[in-house]
Chain A
């Protein structure tokens, strides 16, 4: 083997090492715990905006009873999404969640697919943590059958658009 081949070999090895070192997905040694984000979050935005400007946005919040609609994250890593459609019964979707410094990922227990679809949601649902403490947001590209969501969209085929969510941590009332 010629010296030039060796030089190339050494360069390739060092380059591989460098790529391995810098390219590997790094784990973080510090982890946010579920209890750090535990609490009750209220929806302030819950709207699906179709790409087609001719179709009106579907404001999911308008169809829900606000005081009975919230997301509760527990310190043990479980969530309960409570909701109530206007003139409908109160309902719950439960599951587990994971948290890191950037996002909270909710995974519903099996069997909640239909309920999630009624809310235009999927599992897993990823909520981004914002710079403002206690505020979660999501902007999800998806195709939605609006006709199944509301009679208002009767005859409209499934359309692509963006589902926007914003949740704000409910502050505990100060003790009297």
Chain B
């Protein structure tokens, strides 16, 4: 098996923690996947959901703030989730357990013409895929979706706060972690099978090896981000990844120190 292309329409049940300020509901969408051998698949993800806000249960309120939170309006929020995910199949065969991780952008579009806000999300989880025919499989997975957001800024407007006798300072940005259950169908659209691709992507996950890459460099931010436009790495970064085959490595970098250059 070399390179393959897949499309996976799916439905997701979103179970939000109380500090996420949203009621549990469903999102719909899917992924376009690029399969690299039988063990690795890179996916582009798109999911759209519609949720109602649930701000009365946000944590941190005392006995005077809690009744004011309950006065806040319930508002419908459309969410758009766009991102990339990596899926690693743990076994070949008709029933495939897999792990998945990814990142992307979560956009909140509240009704009433409120400004849309965006958060970067991280996702990790696992699932099972059942092959039902040569080109079709069904899957079910559980994943944890984490992002940072500020409920006051994302879901409320000034007059909502005034009416409830609250201030923007009563809300702050926090990390929320939510469990999502997703199920769908995986359709095999086509692919390339040759000895070359087989050689490149046939490494079993058990044979992957960690890679450590120290490096130094220069970082340039767009001025719109309001960071120093140029930062020099004063320390070093470590890249830690997996060599999937003789020519393909996956890397995630962490650490590093920087000093302001201008």
Q: Which residues of A approach B to under 8 Å, CB–CB?
A: 1, 3, 6-7, 9-10, 13-14, 17, 20-21, 24, 26-33, 36, 100-102, 129, 131, 133
Q: A33 near B169 (CB under 8 angstroms)?
A: yes
Provide the B169-206 mask, 1 if CB < 8 A to any CB of A, else 0: 11111110101000000000000000000000000111
Contact of B19 among A14, A26, A101 (CB under 8 A): A26
Q: B19 near A7 (CB under 8 angstroms)?
A: no
Q: B99 near A10 (CB under 8 angstroms)?
A: yes
Contact of B171 among A14, A21, A31 (CB under 8 A): A31
Q: A24 near B64 (CB under 8 angstroms)?
A: no
Q: B63 near A131 (CB under 8 angstroms)?
A: yes
Q: A21 near B90 (CB under 8 angstroms)?
A: no
For the complex, give the distance between the alpha carbons of A32 and B174 in Å.
15
For the complex, give the distance between the alpha carbons of A131 and B144 in Å.
35
Q: Which residues of B contact A28 (CB under 8 A)?
A: 19, 58-60, 174
Could you tell me the distance in whole angstroms from the C-beta of B160 to the nearest C-beta in chain A?
Answer: 14
Q: B90 near A29 (CB under 8 angstroms)?
A: no
Residue count of chain B within 8 Å CB distance of chain A: 37
Q: B124 near A36 (CB under 8 angstroms)?
A: no
For the complex, give the distance between the alpha carbons of A100 and B170 in Å.
11
Contact of A30 among B90, B146, B170, B206 (CB under 8 A): B170
Q: Which residues of B contact A32 (CB under 8 A)?
A: 60-62, 65, 170
Residue of A nearest to B204 (CB): A1
CB contact under 8 A between A9 and B90, given known A24-B177, A31-B169, A31-B170? yes
- 27 contacting pairs across A/B (C-beta < 8 A): A1-B204, A10-B97, A10-B126, A13-B124, A14-B126, A20-B144, A21-B146, A24-B177, A26-B175, A27-B174, A27-B175, A29-B21, A29-B60, A29-B150, A29-B151, A29-B171, A30-B61, A30-B170, A31-B170, A31-B172, A33-B169, A33-B170, A100-B62, A101-B60, A101-B65, A102-B62, A133-B64
Q: A10-B90, A102-B62 are in contact. List 12 more A-B contacts (CB 8 A).
A: A1-B204, A13-B124, A24-B175, A26-B174, A27-B172, A29-B19, A29-B58, A29-B172, A29-B173, A30-B58, A31-B169, A32-B62
Q: B65 near A36 (CB under 8 angstroms)?
A: yes
For the complex, give the distance between the alpha carbons of A14 and B100 in Å.
11
Q: Tell me whether B116 is interfacial, beta carbon within 8 Å.
A: no
For the complex, give the distance between the alpha carbons of A129 and B66 in Å.
15
